Amino acid sequence: MLERFFKKKEFKLYLGSLTVAPRTDLKRHVDQWDILCQENIDSSLRKRLVEIFELPPANMIKQPTDADLGLDVVVPKFQSGDMVDIALGDFGFPLMWRPQVEVAARIYRIDTGKTVLTASSKSRITWKQYFSRLFTLRAFLRLRPLFDAKDLDFLLHQACLDLLKKLRAAV
C-alpha cells in the first residue's frame, strides 16, 4: 500500500529545440580554413545534434500534462584547434588552442514552461592528441584544416553522453 506513495512518476521526454550558437571569435577565421575553401562546422554540428537527440517534437503535443517534459539543447561554444605563430619584430611565440565543444541542456515542463533541470558538459581533446596531430604532414601542408568537422563530431558525442549522464543522475 505504501508503494503507491513512493513510486516514481513516469515522465515522457520530448525535444524542444536544438541550437548551435554561431562563432564570433577571431579564431574562426584561422581554424576553419584550408587552402581551397572554408569548412562549415556549424551545420555539421547541427546535423549531428539532430541524429543524437532523436525524440518526438514537443510542439506536436496538443494537451500537455504534468508528466510531459521538454528538452532544449544548445551548443553555446565550440572551437576547432590550431596553432599560429605570432611575431613581433625579433620576438615570436606560438598561440595554440585545442578543439573543444560545450553542450548545455534544459529540461522543462511543457505545460507550464518552468525549468526543471539544467546541465552542461564540455569535451576537448588531450594535449597528447593535439601534439600528435600538430606534427603530421597534414599540419605542415595545410591542405585541410588541422582539426575538421569529424573531430568536432566526436567531441560533440562525448559531451552529449556526459551531459545525458549528468541529467540522468539528477533526475
Residues of the chain with pLDDT under 50: 1
Residue with cell 558538459: 121
In-domain check, residue 4: no
Task: Specify the amino acid at residue 33.
Answer: W
For the chain, the domain total comes to 1
In-domain check, residue 2: no
What is the pLDDT at residue 34? 52
In-domain check, residue 160: yes
**What's phi and psi for 112, nearest 5 deg?**
-110, -25
What is the pLDDT at residue 28? 64
In-domain check, residue 6: no
**Tally of CB atoms within 10 A around 79:** 21
pTM confidence score: 0.81
- Per the structure, the complete domain to which residue 103 belongs is given by 19-170
In-domain check, residue 11: no
What is the pLDDT at residue 101? 94
* Spatial CA neighbour of 81 closest among 126, 141, 113: 126
- The CA distances from residue 139 to 19, 130, 152, 153, in Å, are 31, 11, 17, 20
